[in-house]
Structure 1
Amino acid sequence: MKQSSGQWTRRDFIKTSLLTAGGLALGCSVRSRLDILIQNVRIADGTGQEIYTADIGLRDGKITAIGSLKNATAHMIIDGKKYVAAPGFVDIHSHTDLELLANPNAEGKIRQGITTEVSGNCGSSPFPLTKTDVEKLQQKLRDQYQIDESWKDLDGFFRAIEKRGTSINYMTLTGHGALRDTVMGSYDRDPSADELKTMKQVLARTLEMGSLGLSTGLEYAPGSYARTTELIALSKTVAEYGGLYATHMRNEDDRVEEAIEEALDISRQAGVSLQISHLKACNKNNWHKVDAMLSMIDKARQEGIPVHADRYPYIAWSTGLSAFLPVLARQGSTEEMIERLKNRHNEEQVRDYILGRGARIGGWDRVLISSCRGAGGKDFEGKTLQDISHALGLSPYETVRKLLIDFKAEVSTIGFAMEENNLKKVLKAEFVSIGSDGSVRATYGPLFKGKPHPRCYGSFPRVLAKFVRDEKVLSLPEAIRKMSAQNALKVGLTDRGFIREKYVADLVLFNPDAVQDKATYLNPHQYPEGIPYVFVEGVPVIREGNHTGKHPGKVLRHKG
């Protein structure tokens, strides 16, 4: 454990002294007490401080020793000299929910080094549910995944995950859209006093069941119908439980600065911890706003507002094609929305809005169809709306309308709306951490479909490869902090996110010279390279680059 100079550091001395003292106190040595021993590995411990070299000993799911363990024995010994050891990555912005039931191996995430998912973002969660919603969800699980499960509340959803097992740890927020829809439907109106009271009561019950907090998707129906006063009232309930308010803000392009101010005002007035989701400025005419956006958040932090943000390391977003409709046209159920399109209700307004969206992003060649669920859908996947329009002989407006109607709005898109230098500025900001904004995928089975955003497979290794090793935007210790400890602390995890003795042994070993994301927009179903070991609760889930089939992950219920 010597440095290149051959001298022991004070840190080395303290670690070794503590290790020796612990062994003497127990009346035995570390020898024969380890399940796994990682030898001579460079450690990025999550603090953002300098990397150091040591041995790591794991036993009973915990990190039991860090130091010089040359006399220790273990059931499994790994020569770590080619690797960097980091805390298991915490994906603070995930959309994994039903997918984890379909594939408990969580291949697309665990292979990135992600050991904990934080889901329920952007106002969407598979709870709470009305009786009708329960029946629809049950049918969806049968049709898409051949799974026979049902639940109404968060506790039931958690039990479904636990029954099947999982390779990753799982936390979730309560989606404001799901909450609002359950209590008052998907309509553009304010809640009555009784409805708001009911929403707060239902939200409180989910928090008592272990929800991390509340998420909003204020660009999507029905979240977009909520006034700021409603969000403050709900966030006060979240604050009572020590939870988190995570927001896909009301706008991320022309009015992005106003949207940031609204988010900060909600945090300020409710006294709630704030997470701004996937911080970005979309469309070329707004790219110049990023410096001001970062300054706004930095100033708020200096004033004491507990605000952080996250970002995925790509310049394209991904969302449903229905987001190209004006909010008014998205009211009610999916069936009502489609019927509105068929009858060409408010057609001039709808057409103007859709064409405006295409113009603002810079043209329909910048919008890619990533999935269409239904017969014939694959014909459109991986093609731009411009190419599809030409092939069909339709205007872009008619193409959008046709796809939404034909595929019952189950159409996903990818839009190339951001700028690379702005992405680097955001990633470098001290208060910004890494989140994928993607769900679990796999290169086989029911999750092997469509052309999902490559972030589902590559977000975390892309940071290590592109923005650390190749372009040196971030230092390695700082990148690890943004992918592990910063997120763990934000969501209240007190025994994960750092490499420390007595912490849960969620760890990732990667080769800093070989780590590489492989997923692309046209060929996304590819696992990354250079991450040969991932441990969850001290169990090797990825071993020598292969999934072991182990499911040691836990549902992590937030405790306010």
Structure 2
Amino acid sequence: MPARSSRSALPSRYSAIRNRTEPAPSSARCSEVFAVDTLLVGGEIVDGTGSQRRRCDVGLSGDRIAYIGLSDDVTARQTLDCRDMIVTPGLIDPHSHSDWSVLGNADAMSTIHQGVTTEVVGNCGVTYAPLSEHDVAGACASLRSMGYEGPVDWRSFPDLLTRVHSAGTAQNLMWFVGHTAIRAAAHGRAESAGIDEERERIRLLEEAMDAGAIGLSSGLEYGSGRFSRTEELAQLARVVGRRHGMYASHIRNRDHGLGAAVDEFFSIVNAAQVRAQLSHLNVRHNTGAQPGAWERAVEDVMKQRRSGTDVLADMTPYPHGIGLAAGLLPDWLADRPAAEAAALLNDPEIRQRVRQDSDRYWRFVHAGQWDRVRLGVSATHPHWQGLTFPEIACQQGQDEWDCLFDVLAAAGADLGGVQLMGELFTAEHVAEAVGHDHFLLGVDAFTTRHDGPLAARTRHPLFFYGHTHYLAHHVPAGTLSLEESVHKMTGMVAEHFGIRGRGRLVVGAHADVVVFDPAILDRTDTWKVPQGYADAARHVWVNGTPVVSDAVRTPHRPGRQLTQHN
């Protein structure tokens, strides 16, 4: 990354978009005259392939990249001076949960300001469709906590996609359909209509893929996904494989049972002959993983790729991460309907049993390490959000378990919507995964904003600086180079997920483009509660439309639904 500038104020070139008819300045000439809408001159491009950065001008016309090179013979309606800037493809998040918040934040404020132009959503098995009537109340409560005030009148996955994309989105979205959602909807419909549950799961999956879902995601540590059999997952994955889709999985265990969980993942992938993504392959610190377990898991990924399986893993930028509070509950309670399980948590005897039986998921909680856990999202206890459980317990004059039980009991049907933020990994483990050449770089969070209901629910830098943290922290630390980092957030993601015409700066590609100022990237490297949006992405285009100009969000929502066919 170029050396930090000594500039103390933003230079006038940030306002340098101007009308022009004269040729753009350059160091080389060519005989052909190009006319473009917008010309970015003077910057260094990091093109998304992993190649070394180079000085180039970039021309945008309509929704495409029309020109890359050095030429005096280019005319443009407007020109942007990008000297000392870095021009990259729009960042692509391979593991996002922005489908949870997009209806309440269609402007994608926190992510679009980081230069994220495409997000792969619907991960970890949890999507808001398909929905059975039994699940509507819980979905409604959860969506309200995410800032959405409209009706929850969809039931099918196609209808959810219509609701999201008809209103417009800032960023492009590529969707998985969630296995947990399919499982719950099929069960509800089987009970109410007397239909075959297994056939209904397949029908719902096919319906979602017909509507543009690229495949199936599973979350096997929480919700009803934790009760699914391997053969059930393999059967659905075969449906995905026949349609040339993908299977992504939050596997069953990432501590003492990591090896068996990875084995199950590959047994499903190989049985279905399906392309695959092993979601956030990491090991939570001090939760019983055997020495070398993560290294063996990564070696399994590498062996599978060498044998021809199209699989990669992904990692997050911080030692912190999001978790679902219901994942802490033992099977005998979590297997009940959410409202029933929540009501039972008012019983002192049930609470005592849960204390004894909850050694799963974030197992450090069972060991009493509550200082590693903050309340992330709770519609009923917003005043506790962002506090550690020892802080909450001190305020309430009771222990941490009872504070958690109070939150879960009050959640009722929205039990599954209560989220935690945990200190999960060591910094060394994060760096090792981030730098590995079989790992994509995601954030495992959702787009948020500084106003409305989302403001109090996302107080960690992960939501506002997670993507640029790779550039601001991991690149200077030597974990990987700037070119490698951009590649693992753009071209490598696009290639693996089959995102056509994106992820690289090349003539003819969709004009998802970012202009970064490397001199202020390190503003994103902070652990304080964010007060503003990331501002290193000075200019951002999605499909050729400016969505950020001079670090200010424009009113445009040019995002598209991306499928395997566009």
Q: Give, in whole Å, the separation in 1 of the partners of 2:141 and 2:223.
A: 23
Q: Give, in whole Å, the separation in 2 of the partners of 1:359 and 1:532.
A: 41
Judging changes above 3 Å, is the alpha-carbon distance between structure 1 residues 132 and 291 closer, same or farther for their aligned structure 2 residues? closer
Residue 289 (1) aligns with residue 306 (2): no
Give SS of 1:216's match.
Answer: strand
Paired position in structure 2 for 1:152 = 155
Alignment equivalent of 2:244, drawn from 238, 242, 245: 242
Q: Give, in whole Å, the separation in 2 of the partners of 1:359 and 1:154.
A: 35
Q: Give, in whole Å, the separation in 2 of the partners of 1:289 and 1:423.
A: 15
Query: So what's the TM-score if we normalise by structure 2?
Result: 0.87
5+ unaligned residues in a row in structure 1: which ranges? 1-15, 24-28
CA contact (8 A) 1:88 1:114 kept: yes
Question: Could you list the per-position Cα deviations for residues 84-116 of structure 1 after superposition, in whole angstroms to 9, with x for gaps in the alignment?
Answer: 111111111111125222222111111111001
Judging changes above 3 Å, is the alpha-carbon distance between structure 1 residues 273 and 319 closer, same or farther for their aligned structure 2 residues? same
Judging changes above 3 Å, is the alpha-carbon distance between structure 1 residues 525 and 556 closer, same or farther for their aligned structure 2 residues? farther
Paired position in structure 1 for 2:424 = 417
Paired position in structure 1 for 2:436 = 429
Give SS of 2:212's match.
Answer: coil
- Written as runs of structure 1 = structure 2, the 5 A alignment for 1:338-349 is 338-343=342-347, 347-349=351-353
Question: Could you list the per-position Cα deviations for residues 459-515 of structure 1 after superposition, in whole angstroms to 9, with x for gaps in the alignment?
Answer: 2100001001x2021111110110011111122112111111000010111122321
- Give, as a single letter, the amino acid of the residue that structure 2 aligns with 1:326: P
1:362 CA drift (Å)? 6.3
Give SS of 1:73's match.
Answer: strand
- Written as runs of structure 1 = structure 2, the 5 A alignment for 1:83-232 is 83-134=85-136, 137=139, 144-148=147-151, 150-185=153-188, 194-232=196-234
Give SS of 1:97's match.
Answer: helix
- Give, as a single letter, the amino acid of the residue that structure 1 aligns with 2:71: L
Residue 546 (1) aligns with residue 552 (2): yes
- Give, as a single letter, the amino acid of the residue that structure 2 aligns with 1:79: D
1:134 CA drift (Å)? 4.8
Q: Give, in whole Å, the separation in 2 of the partners of 1:444 and 1:20.
A: 50
- Written as runs of structure 1 = structure 2, the 5 A alignment for 1:361-400 is 363-374=369-380, 377-400=381-404
Q: Give, in whole Å, the separation in 2 of the partners of 1:149 and 1:179.
A: 17
Q: Give, in whole Å, the separation in 2 of the partners of 1:48 and 1:193.
A: 51
CA contact (8 A) 1:451 1:525 kept: no
Paired position in structure 1 for 2:448 = 441
Residue 304 (1) aligns with residue 308 (2): yes
Q: Give, in whole Å, the separation in 2 of the partners of 1:251 and 1:453.
A: 25
Q: Give, in whole Å, the separation in 2 of the partners of 1:397 and 1:447.
A: 26
Residue 332 (1) aligns with residue 332 (2): no
Residue 461 (1) aligns with residue 457 (2): no
CA contact (8 A) 1:462 1:517 kept: no
Paired position in structure 2 for 1:3 = none
CA contact (8 A) 1:63 1:505 kept: yes
- Give, as a single letter, the amino acid of the residue that structure 1 aligns with 2:493: N
Percent identical among aligned pairs is 29
Give SS of 1:458's match.
Answer: helix
Question: Could you list the per-position Cα deviations for residues 489-546 of structure 1 after superposition, in whole angstroms to 9, with x for gaps in the alignment?
Answer: 1221121111110000101111223213548666145322321011101111111110
1:245 CA drift (Å)? 0.6
Give SS of 1:513's match.
Answer: helix
Q: Which segment drifts farther, 397-406 or 261-270? A: 397-406
Question: Could you list the per-position Cα deviations for residues 169-200 of structure 1 after superposition, in whole angstroms to 9, with x for gaps in the alignment?
Answer: 1111000000000011599xxxx994222211
CA contact (8 A) 1:438 1:455 kept: yes
Aligned residues: 529
Q: Give, in whole Å, the separation in 1 of the partners of 2:249 and 2:142.
A: 27
Alignment equivalent of 2:60, drawn from 58, 61, 65: 58
Judging changes above 3 Å, is the alpha-carbon distance between structure 1 residues 324 and 158 closer, same or farther for their aligned structure 2 residues? same
Paired position in structure 2 for 1:507 = 513
- Give, as a single letter, the amino acid of the residue that structure 2 aligns with 1:428: G
What RMSD, in angstroms, separates the aligned Cα atoms of the two structures? 2.6
Q: Give, in whole Å, the separation in 1 of the partners of 2:241 and 2:337.
A: 31
Give SS of 2:284's match.
Answer: coil
CA contact (8 A) 2:344 2:409 kept: no
Give SS of 2:51's match.
Answer: coil
Question: Could you list the per-position Cα deviations for residues 131-171 of structure 1 after superposition, in whole angstroms to 9, with x for gaps in the alignment?
Answer: 44457646765785332462222222222223221111111
Q: Which segment drifts farther, 219-228 or 327-336? A: 327-336
Give SS of 2:561's match.
Answer: coil
- Written as runs of structure 1 = structure 2, the 5 A alignment for 1:484-499 is 484-499=490-505
Judging changes above 3 Å, is the alpha-carbon distance between structure 1 residues 110 and 331 closer, same or farther for their aligned structure 2 residues? same
- Give, as a single letter, the amino acid of the residue that structure 2 aligns with 1:342: N
Q: Give, in whole Å, the separation in 2 of the partners of 1:125 and 1:411.
A: 15
